[in-house]
Structure 1
């Protein structure tokens, strides 16, 4: 159990049979009446966001989430197979379970898999990955009217905007949170 006074951004709680993550919180102490905590909660399974108010000191069950380090071993059709690095058990996850960042997933990459009981809630990729540029147009000197960047396709099939001097075959570092180019590797 966790008190509403202990809510912080990122804390996971159980409400109505689902796992909710605190996105925003605000402790309010009105001049008249008792204090309360106004929160914005995101359902981890469905992604829906709701606003909910709790009385100050109200206790709610804290979600018992387990974070396991797993390695992506191979892709089997539309299923991605991961191996637990401690027990060597394999688990198959669909593209929907992994989310939009699947475009940066490479074989052999270690990720954090967050589970609630036996249910996989999300897959956390590293914040940055090193990928090889497989296709990009050659940069033309003086062609900076577009801000000095061009699209490039990396080895996983994702498209990233890169500077004009990047050419095919180079390895670049990409931020998986916002799809941005971080530098050469």
Structure 2
């Protein structure tokens, strides 16, 4: 039997199962009552790993959750078509397909052949675990003009090799590799 997790012990990035659905905790807040006999409540901001919906829910401190039957496997991104995005399981060499809802904005950060972590719930693929940062080449950007800082904004728009558009500093040129934060989709430095 899977281990049980008390609601009061759920912290950021904890994975748990509630009502036969896997969730990831994004934030937790514990409310201790001031009156005698009051119950300690745990307010969790959680993401449904099947639908990617994010919401807040309050639980009693003693509520218990099961650990989800989640498995992380290494997979390489192959291609995308009308059926979805296809990945090759590096262990079994089986092709796994994820639909647009399962991927969210992950395709903005993926190149063909790139190896990432794919999540499986009860043996079925449900989504991707992207690294914190990815390195992508700048496909197009306007050249930075000296003295272009009068507006106070010292960034310009750049289109990356995946099609993602981000704001980059003026000194970044076409063909350069940049580091992008996958959580926010923002420039994080030169690669």
What range is the shorter-chain TM-score in? Answer: 0.7 to 0.9
Alignment correspondent of 2:18:
15
Q: TM-score, normalised by structure 1?
A: 0.87
1:168 to 146, 150, 174: 174
Q: Map 1:44-55; keep pairs closer than 5 Å.
A: 44-46=49-51, 47-54=53-60
Q: TM-score, normalised by structure 2?
A: 0.85
C-alpha distance in 2, partners of 1:49/1:118? 25
C-alpha distance in 2, partners of 1:30/1:120? 45
C-alpha distance in 1, partners of 2:13/2:144? 42
SS of match in other structure, 1:126: coil
Post-superposition shift, 1:50? Answer: 3.2
Unaligned 5+ segments in structure 2 are none
C-alpha distance in 1, partners of 2:89/2:97? 11
Post-superposition shift, 1:173? Answer: 1.8
Tell me if the contact between 2:138 and 2:160 (Cα under 8 Å) persists in the aligned partners: yes
Number of equivalences:
184
Unaligned 5+ segments in structure 1 are none
Q: 1:141 to 1:78 in 2, by over 3 A?
A: farther
CA RMSD, Structure 1 to Structure 2 (Å)? 2.0
